[in-house]
A = this chain, B = another copy of it.
């Protein structure tokens, strides 16, 4: 049976990527060696790293003045590392709180300075994106989370600010076009749209660094990783390689512009059904709905178990909602084909009919 993988992360990647990665795991480019058993200093792996950096620059149209890093530790490490590198000692920063991930980012940043939560949608269980906020005059940067996997909301535009802008783009990077020059720092755990878990993409404006007055431990210092081209220590080679393959796939199908169209088509298809179907309703404010992670509930919660079982029977995997919201969440990352969305929509229609 065809499995429709709606996992929130780690999650679906293109089948062709897994196939190629599996081949390389046994015999990389007919070398007789696995991609996972060659030195990170070998010319073969150096080429993987260089190509990966180039693909990020091409796909995201990264202008001059930015550096691309492949690090470890996920966004959770970046919650601390971003402040360590951008927030001066005794400094101030502004954060928009749109849910679990923003809250965690705020918690770690508070170890480093005066953190102002300048806007929050906590009052309505993070079901919308706050649009209005004032920032402290002395703030070093504004931090936000572009897409909220748990609550199913998404910033449609970067918040308007004169401050340096820092963004956790873990769950929607390379899913839509973004104007990089608005940002001083973008970070993203790979395991949604970029590649397997275990690697973190960082895009940092060189001009933003070196201004904190802090002594930064080597592994937490962007400048150290810039100087060593992400090879200060052994990088997570296989995760980077598979990320490279995923970016090659994205480039081949038409790049970010094309995938953005496909993602909008997919999310419209599902949201239209959520709105049409008398049994279901969306949980996020309409204008702030996430293209990546539509969240929805059954008006009659007593039907939850039955619908979930029918989804599993139909090969639809991973749509149980996060406990913070309940109901259902259909994570529709880049690699999810529209046929999988059609399968879900058909299931919802059939379910409505069966409840007549």
A interface residues, Cβ below 8 angstroms from B:
1-3, 5, 7-13, 18-19, 21-23, 25-26, 31-34, 36-40, 42, 72-77, 79-80, 104, 107-108, 111, 189, 191, 196-199, 215, 217-220, 232-239, 242, 315, 317-318
Contacts and interface: CB of A to CB of B under 8 A. Distances in A.
A21 to B, nearest CB: 6
A72 B72 contact: yes
5 contacts: A10-B234, A18-B26, A22-B25, A198-B237, A198-B238
Nearest to A34: B18
Copy count, this protein chain: 2
Contact of A236 (B31, B79, B197, B234): B197
A21 B108 CA distance: 35
A74 to B, nearest CB: 5
Contact of A76 (B23, B32, B233): B233
Contacts of A239: 198, 236, 238-239
Given A31-B3, A34-B13, A197-B235, A218 B80 contact: yes
B39 A76 contact: no
A316 B219 CA distance: 33
B73 A234 contact: no
Contact of A3 (B26, B32, B196): B32
Q: Most chain-B Cβ atoms within 10 A of its Cβ — which of A34, A73, A197? A: A197
Given A5-B33, A18-B25, A72-B77, 15 more contacts: A3-B32, A5-B37, A7-B38, A10-B37, A10-B40, A18-B26, A18-B34, A36-B197, A72-B198, A76-B219, A80-B217, A189-B233, A197-B234, A238-B238, A239-B239
